[in-house]
Amino acid sequence: MWLRCGCVAAPFGRRVFTSRLRLLGLRRCNTAAFMPEAAGFGAVSGRSALQEFSVSNSERFWAAVARHRLSWISPFQSVQDCDLSSGRIRWFEGGKLNVSVNCLDRHVHTCPDRVALIWERDEKGSEVKYTYRELLEMTCRVGNLLRRHGVEKGDCVTIYMPTCPLAVASMLACARIGAAHNVVFAGFSAEALAERIRDAQSSTVITVNQGVRGGKTLELKKTVDAAVQSCPTVQQVFVAMRTENPVAMTARDVAMEEEMMKEDVVCEPAAMNSEDTLFLLYTSGSTGKPKGLVHTQAGYLLYAALTHRYVFNYHDGDVFGCVADIGWITGHSYAVYGPLANGGTTVLFESTPIYPDPGRYWDMVERLKINQFYGAPTAIRLLLKFGDDWVNKYDRSSLKTLGSVGEPINTEAWEWYYRVVGEERCPVVDTWWQTGNCLFETLF
């Protein structure tokens, strides 16, 4: 069952990518912070005034931010057509765009060597960085590979992978060719995975041979093998290699990296309607059968970009550290789409907060010079038990904003987070979430 969400409040050089942008009719756009005066809001100064303006002049506000924050192939004709009594929610109808172009191409056009991803691998101190040019090339290779194997616009591709750059490239590749992605948390069982594959009617699954987390090996390919036995729609499984350990391959399986290298680094992006499906994400199932929530192209991307910048006070050049798994909506919005839409540098965290020791987060903050850190109260409560020394061992002067997500944060954990981790100088942004919507609240 799918439920539609309405989100807004729901080795080629630069020449190749520049010509691609011209072909799409895209202009060089300013990916810095949205400035009210640039959108005709000259009389609006300060964030409080901007917030008030967004409420009292919502149509004008959303039209302006959509035009200035996103690159459009065709302009939208209406801002919103929403009727909550009937469940009709439509944003930016008539407009066409491509999410991967907004997250990659336009930044490659202006700053190709800016770091897009920092992959904080499970093995401490072995981080890997990917520039926007490198991420675009990887995304295009995956997109061309999917197309060559019959994935078409409107299909749904299930991704069962750890938090890693290839998973992000796979998400963006789906967006590039017009396929929806269905990312399933890599800790779910074969039964849970199969249920989501069947409901999404996926013919294609992307996975890895094994995952690595907290020093332990996770047999993801074996889980997929068990799951697809009850999924008659699955025709092919792309298998990437996270470890060097071989796994059993069948006629259905495709060696992903080997086949990717045969593909071109330029992939024609599909022109997508604003309300076309971008991705499915299933609820946890804690209150019954998991429901596949549909997020659409323009509204979701604009919402992710704006909240990433304004809620967390993100500025160009910052390093954003969201430690959520990409299998959850937080990871989608604040490890992938929000930061990349803003041309930011985002951290992909593969490990756990206590591997190899309870200083893992704070070592990472010091080493990567993270400016915004976004984690869960469960992890904060766990680390609190180990005391202040594991925090104070590391330099956290780069931090500007702390975030909390996933559950209510209790007073003791909040005070420790603010006082010890943030040294009483970083606001704590407390965020409340569901897979289909969210509310933000800042606590000082």
Mean pLDDT within 148-153: 98
* Residue 83 pLDDT greater than 90, yes or no: no
Mean pLDDT within 13-42: 41
Question: Who wins on pLDDT, 213 or 40?
Answer: 213
b/e string for 49-65 if b means 16 or more Cβ within 10 A?
ebeebbeeeeeebbbbb
* Residue 443 pLDDT greater than 70, yes or no: no
290-305 per-position pLDDT tens digit: 889 999 999 999 999 9
Mean pLDDT within 104-126: 97
**What is the predicted pLDDT for the residue at 10?**
39
318-352 per-position pLDDT tens digit: 999 999 999 999 999 999 999 999 999 999 999 99
Mean pLDDT within 247-255: 97
- Whole-angstrom Cα distance, residue 3 to residue 87? 10
Question: Who wins on pLDDT, 10 or 340?
Answer: 340
> Residue 389: phi, psi to the nearest 5?
-60, -40
**What is the predicted pLDDT for the residue at 435?**
73
420-438 per-position pLDDT tens digit: 999 999 999 998 767 766 5
Predicted confidence band at 144 (pLDDT cuts at 50, 70, 90)? very high
> Residue 69: phi, psi to the nearest 5?
-95, -25
38-61 per-position pLDDT tens digit: 455 655 667 778 888 888 888 999
* Residue 19 pLDDT greater than 80, yes or no: no
* Residue 263 pLDDT greater than 80, yes or no: yes
Predicted confidence band at 369 (pLDDT cuts at 50, 70, 90)? very high
> Residue 365: phi, psi to the nearest 5?
-60, -45
Angle at 301 between CA 296 and CA 302, to 5 degrees: 120
Mean pLDDT within 125-141: 98
Cis peptide before 356 (omega within 30 of 0): yes
56-80 per-position pLDDT tens digit: 888 999 999 999 999 999 999 999 8
Chain centroid offset of residue 414 CA: 26
108, 249, 403, 404, 406 from 323: Cα distances, Å: 25, 32, 10, 11, 12
- Whole-angstrom Cα distance, residue 178 to residue 153? 4
* Residue 131 pLDDT greater than 70, yes or no: yes
**What is the predicted pLDDT for the residue at 434?**
72
173-189 per-position pLDDT tens digit: 999 999 999 999 999 99
Predicted confidence band at 439 (pLDDT cuts at 50, 70, 90)? low
Question: Who wins on pLDDT, 15 or 51?
Answer: 51
* Residue 116 pLDDT greater than 80, yes or no: yes
